[in-house]
Amino acid sequence: MREIGPGGRYQRRGTRGTIVLGESADIFEAGELLTTARRAVSDPKAAEVYVDLALTERIDLSAIQILLALRADLVAVGRGFAAINASNKLRKRLERAALPLLNN
């Protein structure tokens, strides 16, 4: 498996793109996360993009804002978005920020 960089790692299988985030997503990784999010949006073969939070223990508002912008960009062009595999603690924080999660 490829290493996860500071801004996560983007990969696509079929029509599903996935951004896998590392342990922390915060202001220090915001630039790299934005680059990764732009890569996902610009991938015309990805009908939906999931953000996999299985490894993520900490996320701050800067990263949440980037994920909200990613969702808005994808929805605007008729593509799907979901944040998946978050811990219960992280799930509650994201839900307070109106970021929907799948129950995976």
pLDDT tens by residue, 50-81? 999 999 999 998 999 999 999 999 999 999 99
pLDDT tens by residue, 5-52? 778 999 999 999 999 999 999 999 999 999 999 999 999 999 999 999
Return the pLDDT at 104. Answer: 43
Residue pair 46/12 in contact by the 8 Å Cβ criterion? yes
Distances in Å between the Cα of 81 and the Cα atoms of 1, 31, 41 are: 23, 20, 11
Return the pLDDT at 9. Answer: 94
Return the pLDDT at 91. Answer: 86
100 pLDDT higher than 90: no
Return the pLDDT at 47. Answer: 98
